[in-house]
Each structure stands twice: as C-alpha cells, then as structure tokens.
Amino acid sequence: MKTKTQNKEKSEGIIKVLKYLKSLFISLIVTFASIIIFAFVIKWTSLPDSVISPVNLVIKGVSVFLGALVLTKGSSHGLLNGLVFALVYTLFAFTIFSALAGEFSLSLGLVLDLAFTAVVGMIAGIIGVNLKKR
C-alpha cells in the first residue's frame, strides 16, 4: 500500500518531467521557427555563408535561454536545472537535425555547442529562479 508521501513524490516527479517536456517543446518550436525564418532571409537576400554559423549559435542560445527560463521560473536549483535542460536540449536537437540531414557525425562542434548551451542554460536558470511566479 502506498502512503500519501509516496503518492505526492510520484506526482511531483511527473510534474517535473512534464515541465521539462514543456520547456523542451518551447525551445524546439523556437528553434524550428527561427531556422525557417532564417532560411527565407538567406534565400531572399545575398548574405554571405559566413553568417550562417553565428546566426545558428544565436538561435540555439535564444532557444535554450527561453526553455531554461520557462523551466526554472519560480522554482529552485536554477543553475543545475538550467544546465541539465541545456544538455538535454542540445542532445535532442542534435539527434533531430542529424536525422533530418541523414548523417550523424560527432565532432568538436557538438562539444562546443554543449559548452555554449550549458553556459546559457545556467544563466537562464539563475535568472529564472529569481523571477516570481504569477
């Protein structure tokens, strides 16, 4: 027989997982929308190829920042939750975009993305825990 404490812990765990999934979904939607908009901008303008990498980095940063902010807003352990969220987002996005490209290649770029998004996620987590819930 389960106690009330066990039931409460289980429901809190489910709520945390749902909050992570919600934040991940928001981040991925922002990422996809931004990439589509950027693709149209590239198609209609004569931007050099050298802008693609910095813009992709900005898109990842904004996406992770928003997701980590949503995840940690009004909660606790913002630094840790922001870091974990950033790592999960990066690995998830890497898997999705590699599958779409039909090529999985582990490289220094993935390590740099993990480091960059980890820093962004931790910063967003710190900011998020200091925002008040409505």
**Burial (0-12, 13-18, 19+ Cβ within 10 Å), 117:** buried
**76/1 Cα distance (integer angstroms):** 31
pLDDT digits (tens, 9 = 90+) for 64-107: 999 999 999 988 889 999 999 999 999 999 999 889 888 888 88
Tokens of 1: 């027989």
In angstroms, what CA-CA distances link 105 with 8, 49, 111, 116, 131?
Answer: 42, 21, 12, 19, 38
Residue 82 · residue 122 · CB < 8 Å: yes
pLDDT digits (tens, 9 = 90+) for 19-48: 999 999 999 999 999 999 999 999 899 888
> How is the chain split into domains, by residue range?
4-129
pLDDT at site 105: 81
